[in-house]
């Protein structure tokens, strides 16, 4: 991906990531009509593994497969597992607008964490634009916040764990390819979802349409994991984080095209705010450029993955 200008790689990867995740979520939502939630997660993991392992060999990463179990990679993906287990339970017991709205605090937590852990200086303009994106996301989701309970806390836990996941991902060595990290996430969630299903659910035989949906969801899941990891690897957090709100824009598109749900005027205004918050210039202090086109928060050197990064 060296043909993509360095300055726009991070935001572009985040846009692609949120779109990939949204396609995955849409297919999962369709599949949960008739299947238990953790069973759907497990089947999606099986499909993603069947897609991803051959892809690793095609890309020439066969010898690096043991890195799936690298300590820092596993730390990141155990946080991914905890986040998705919280999200599934919250989503099953709350209105989707409420769980979506609570998830929008992730970019704000990412900014705070990056400032503390990596010393990124976030300018006042960028903080204001992040806040603008948060307001826009709430306008799109339009939560009622009725029946706030332990499920709302789980939704907040998902947002916090997602931010922790992405912060942990920035500590993964540059020598570990992004696709290895993505497949590791798939495997960890597959194992965790399988265990959760055995403990709390009964197996329901999936129909052909369920299997087709899971095959599609697994395919897009890999690229969601890959591009969100790469977005924070190649771009400063303050530049990349606002584009996380594109998830709400993709959600509206999915609602219109798949579920026949059209946004009202308030949601349209929210979408415009989300877009504006990402397109304005960054207030982040530049960080040193590395030889391979990657940026390292501490000014160190990273090796670019010229095939995928």
pLDDT digits (tens, 9 = 90+) for 34-55: 889 899 999 999 999 999 999 9
Global pTM value? 0.75
pLDDT at 197: 94
Looking at residue 35, what DSSP letter applies? S
Alpha carbon distance 297, 99 (integer Å): 31
Answer whether residue 66 shows pLDDT above 80.
yes
User: Which residue has better confidence, 276 or 146?
Assistant: 276
- The tens digit of pLDDT for each residue in 172-222 reads 998 899 999 999 999 999 999 999 999 999 999 999 999 999 999 999 999
Q: Work out the widest C-alpha separation in the chain, in whole angstroms.
A: 54
Place of tokens 């997660």: 41
Q: Among 133-147, 203-217, 244-258, 275-289, which range has the highest average pLDDT?
A: 203-217
pLDDT at 261: 74
pLDDT at 90: 79
Closest CA to 277 of 74, 118, 103, 132: 132
Closest CA to 184 of 282, 80, 305: 80
Name the burial class of residue 135, with classes exposed (0-12), middle (13-18) and buried (19+) by CB atoms within 10 angstroms of its CB.
Answer: middle
3-state secondary structure 117-181: HHCCCECHHHHHHHHHHHHHHHHHHCCCCCCCCHHHHHHHHHHHHHHHHHHHHCCCCCCCCHHHH
User: Looking at residues 64-73, what average pLDDT do you find?
Assistant: 94
Closest CA to 234 of 170, 180, 173, 188: 170
Answer whether residue 257 shows pLDDT above 80.
yes
| SS3 state of residue 53 | helix
């Amino acid at each position: 991906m060296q043909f993509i200008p360095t300055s726009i790689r991070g935001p572009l990867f985040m846009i692609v990531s949120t779109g990939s995740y949204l396609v995955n979520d849409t297919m999962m939502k369709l599949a949960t009509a008739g299947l238990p939630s953790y069973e759907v997660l497990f089947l999606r993991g099986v499909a993603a593994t069947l897609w991803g392992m051959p892809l690793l060999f095609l890309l020439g990463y066969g010898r690096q497969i043991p890195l799936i179990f690298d300590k820092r990679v596993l730390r990141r993906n155990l946080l991914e597992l905890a986040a998705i287990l919280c999200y599934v339970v919250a989503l099953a017991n709350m209105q989707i607008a409420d769980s979506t709205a609570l998830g929008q605090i992730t970019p704000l937590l990412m900014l705070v964490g990056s400032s503390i852990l990596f010393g990124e200086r976030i300018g006042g303009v960028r903080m204001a634009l992040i806040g603008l994106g948060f307001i826009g996301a709430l306008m799109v989701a339009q939560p009622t916040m009725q029946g706030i309970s332990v499920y709302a806390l789980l939704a907040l836990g998902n947002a916090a764990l997602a931010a922790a996941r992405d912060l942990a991902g920035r500590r993964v060595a540059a020598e570990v390819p992004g696709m290895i990290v993505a497949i590791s996430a798939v495997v960890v969630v597959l194992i965790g979802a399988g265990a959760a299903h055995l403990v709390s659910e009964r197996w329901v035989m999936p129909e052909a349409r369920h299997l087709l949906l899971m095959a599609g969801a697994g395919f897009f899941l890999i690229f969601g994991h890959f591009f969100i990891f790469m977005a924070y690897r190649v771009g400063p957090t303050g530049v990349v984080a606002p584009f996380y709100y594109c998830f709400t824009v993709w959600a509206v598109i999915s609602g219109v095209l798949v579920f026949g749900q059209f946004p009202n005027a308030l949601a349209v205004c929210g979408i415009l705010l989300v877009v504006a918050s990402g397109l304005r210039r960054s207030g982040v202090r530049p960080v040193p450029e590395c030889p391979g086109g990657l940026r390292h928060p501490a000014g160190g050197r990273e090796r670019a993955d010229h095939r995928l990064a």
